[in-house]
Amino acid sequence: MRTSWIRTAKLGLAKAWRIGRGLTVALMLLAGGAVAAVAQGGVSQDIGLIKACADDVWRLCSRSLPLDVKSCMQRKMGQISSGCRNALLDAMAGQSFKICKNMNFALCASARCNVYNGVAYCKCERKSGDSISLAFQTGKDEDVCSVMAEGVQNQYMVSTYSLPESIIAPSGDSAIYNCPGGSSGGAYAQCDGGLCFTSTEGTRFPGFDQPVPKGQIICSCPISSAAANKGGYGILGPYPCQKSFFQYCKGAVANSRNGSTLFVGAPTGTAQALAAQLNGSVPPLNECRP
């Protein structure tokens, strides 16, 4: 009897350890913080992140423990608590986000880009209203919002984020395409905080066949690789889902070579998390998976 009890207790502890380890690994991967220690059988723990999100994991994804927490949390980014969301966003970005209220901004979330000399030049929409971005603190009272305000008199705009109406289900004609990270070899444009040239509206710009339409401008954006996002990333494309569009997740098409076509993207779950941070909730979104 005693031997049986001890064996049962050991099995219970082993299961609990696996669940706890799975929770830790999943949160670190979700935040883009996968480290070599994971591959070696250990875990580098971010205690603050785990503490902030543990209740959300149990509430939203308990049935997915221990193996599928990461994908479950990504699917439910719009439902997690503000404390967990803030911790995840800070961990993903390495710094805090800021909301710019009632200002002119460039929305590049669905933009198509052309690569020239290691930079992605993206055709973005001119917008006005509330948006969210990394703070990009440059001084005591200087950040992305103050830079944006100065652009009004100086013929430039800043790329920040708001939820594109085109991906809202069921009537939107666009969707988030979830691309695999790690070894897929793909690349995307990371436009948050990118500077945009208002003088490009209505002109021809290298890499684009037609003049830049009215209401759109060109923004310069750095390029990020799939290798830097082991948890995957998302880009926006047509809806209903088209398998052929997933070519833009692969390095053979989406890369940093001159003349390549890239789409603006972000680590998986970022669109939902930022929308929730900005608006307080997230509507159902169109999504496509490989």
Q: What band does 95 get if pLDDT is binned at 50, 70 and 90?
A: low
Whether 137 and 277 map to the same domain: the answer is yes
> What pairing do the DSSP bridges indicate for beta strands 261-263 and 119-134?
unpaired
Whether 224 and 238 map to the same domain: the answer is yes
Structure confidence by residue, pLDDT tens digits, 43-73: 343 566 677 788 888 888 877 665 567 667 7
| Residue where a domain stops, chosen among 78, 93, 108 | 93
Nearest to 192 by CA among 79, 87, 96: 96
Whether 164 and 230 map to the same domain: the answer is yes
Whether 107 and 236 map to the same domain: the answer is yes
What are the DSSP calls for 62-92, one per residue?
GGGTTTSHHHHHHHTGGGS-HHHHHHHHHHH
How many Cα atoms occupy the beta-carbon half-sphere of 192 within 13 Å? 23
| Residue where a domain stops, chosen among 60, 93, 126 | 93
Residue 263: is its pLDDT beyond 70?
yes
Whether 69 and 84 map to the same domain: the answer is yes
What range does the domain containing 59 cover? Answer: 2-93
Q: Do residues 158 and 268 lie in contact, with contact meaning Cβ atoms separated by under 8 Å?
A: no
Whether 127 and 76 map to the same domain: the answer is no
Record the tokens describing residue 194, joined without a space. Answer: 């990118």
Q: Is 10 helix (H, G, I), strand (E, B) or coil?
A: helix
According to DSSP, residue 197 is labeled: E
Structure confidence by residue, pLDDT tens digits, 160-209: 999 999 999 999 999 999 998 776 689 999 999 999 999 999 999 999 99
CB atoms within 10 A of CB 253: 15
Whether 116 and 50 map to the same domain: the answer is no
Whether 152 and 22 map to the same domain: the answer is no
Whether 79 and 206 map to the same domain: the answer is no
Whether 121 and 156 map to the same domain: the answer is yes
Asked if residue 213 has a cis previous peptide bond (ω within 30° of 0), the answer is no
Total number of domains constituting the chain: 2
Whether 71 and 88 map to the same domain: the answer is yes
Please tell me the total number of residues recorded for the chain in this structure: 290
Whether 23 and 141 map to the same domain: the answer is no
Amino acid letter, 93: A
Q: Do residues 113 and 262 lie in contact, with contact meaning Cβ atoms separated by under 8 Å?
A: yes
Residues 6+ apart with CB under 8 A from 16: none
Nearest to 34 by CA among 248, 198, 253, 231: 231
Query: What is the share, in percent, of the chain residues with pLDDT greater than 90?
Result: 53
| Residue where a domain stops, chosen among 60, 76, 93 | 93
